[in-house]
Amino acid sequence: MEDCDVLIVGAGPVGLATAIELGQRGVRVRVVDLTDDVGFRPRAKLTNVRSMGLMRRWGLAQAVRAQAPLPADYPSDVIFATGMAGHLLTRFENAFRCARERDDQFPEPAQWIPQYALTRVLRDHVRTLPSVRLDYGRRFIGLAQDDDGVTAQIAPTAGGEAVAQRCRYLVGADGPSSPVRKALGIRMQGDHGYARNFGVVFKAPELSGRNRLGLGIQYWLTNPACPGIVGPMERDLWFFGTQVPPQVDIDTLDPAALVRRCIGLDIAVEVVATDPWDCHRLVAERYREGRVLLAGDACHLHPPMGGYGMNMGIGDGLALGWKLAAVLQGWGGPKLLDAYQVERRQVHERVIAEAVENYSTLTNQLVRDTMMAEGPEGDAARAAVGEEVARVKQREFHTLGVVLGCRYATSPVIVDDGSAAPPDEYRNYHPSAHPGCLAPHGWLADGRSLYDRFGRGFTLLAERDEVAAFRAAAEARGLALTVFVHGDPALTELYAAPLALIRPDQFVAWRGQAVPGDAGAVLDQIRGM
Ligand SMILES: Cc1cc2nc3c(=O)[nH]c(=O)nc-3n(C[C@H](O)[C@H](O)[C@H](O)COP(=O)(O)OP(=O)(O)OC[C@H]3O[C@@H](n4cnc5c(N)ncnc54)[C@H](O)[C@@H]3O)c2cc1C
| pLDDT score for 524 | 98
> Which residue's C-alpha comes closest to atom 52 of ligand 1?
43
pLDDT at 1 over 90: no
**Residues 458, 526 contacting (CB under 8 angstroms):** yes
pLDDT at 318 over 90: yes
| pLDDT score for 156 | 98
pLDDT at 2 over 80: no
Measured in Å, residue 377 CA sits from the centre of ligand 1 at: 44
Core vs surface per residue 393-403: b (16+ CB within 10 A) or e: bbbbbbbbbbb
Beta-bridge partner residues of 188: 284
CA distances from 339 to 163, 293, 327, 333, 364 (A): 32, 12, 12, 11, 41
Model confidence band, residue 264 (pLDDT cutoffs 50, 70, 90): very high
> Which residue's C-alpha comes closest to atom 37 of ligand 1?
174
Q: Determine whether the shortest distance from the Cβ of 33 to ligand 1 is under 6 A.
A: yes
In the predicted model, what is the mean pLDDT of the chain?
A: 97
3-class DSSP assignment, residue 153: strand
pLDDT at 74 over 70: yes
pLDDT at 75 over 70: yes
Model confidence band, residue 39 (pLDDT cutoffs 50, 70, 90): confident
Q: Once rounded to an integer, what is the mean pLDDT over residues 141-168? A: 97
Measured in Å, residue 310 CA sits from the centre of ligand 1 at: 7
Active site residue 219: yes
Measured in Å, residue 317 CA sits from the centre of ligand 1 at: 13
Q: Determine whether the shortest distance from the Cβ of 119 to ligand 1 is under 6 A.
A: no
| pLDDT score for 309 | 97
Q: Once rounded to an integer, what is the mean pLDDT over residues 363-383? A: 95
pLDDT at 308 over 90: yes
The pLDDT tens digits for 189-202 are 999 988 999 999 99
Mutate to test the pocket of ligand 1, among 112, 171, 174 (most ligand atoms within 8 A of CB): 174
pTM above 0.95, yes or no: yes
Q: Once rounded to an integer, what is the mean pLDDT over residues 337-357? A: 97
pLDDT at 374 over 70: yes
CA angle 373, 377, 383 (to 5 degrees): 95
pLDDT at 109 over 70: yes
Q: Three-state secondary structure along 290-338?
A: CCEEECHHHCEECCCCCCCHHHHHHHHHHHHHHHHHHHHHCCCCCHHHH
Q: Once rounded to an integer, what is the mean pLDDT over residues 19-32? A: 98
Measured in Å, residue 157 CA sits from the centre of ligand 1 at: 19
| pLDDT score for 37 | 87
Model confidence band, residue 265 (pLDDT cutoffs 50, 70, 90): very high
For 265, other C-beta atoms within 10 Å of its C-beta total: 18
pLDDT at 42 over 90: no
Shortest-distance atom of ligand 1 to CA 310? 11
- What percentage of the chain carries pLDDT values higher than 70? 100
Q: Once rounded to an integer, what is the mean pLDDT over residues 27-56? A: 94
Beta-bridge partner residues of 239: 201, 231
The residue count for the chain = 529
The pLDDT tens digits for 76-100 are 999 999 999 999 999 999 999 999 9
Q: Once rounded to an integer, what is the mean pLDDT over residues 26-43? A: 91
Mutate to test the pocket of ligand 1, among 115, 118, 177 (most ligand atoms within 8 A of CB): 115
pLDDT at 40 over 90: no
The pLDDT tens digits for 412-469 are 999 999 999 999 999 999 999 999 999 999 999 999 999 999 999 999 999 999 999 9
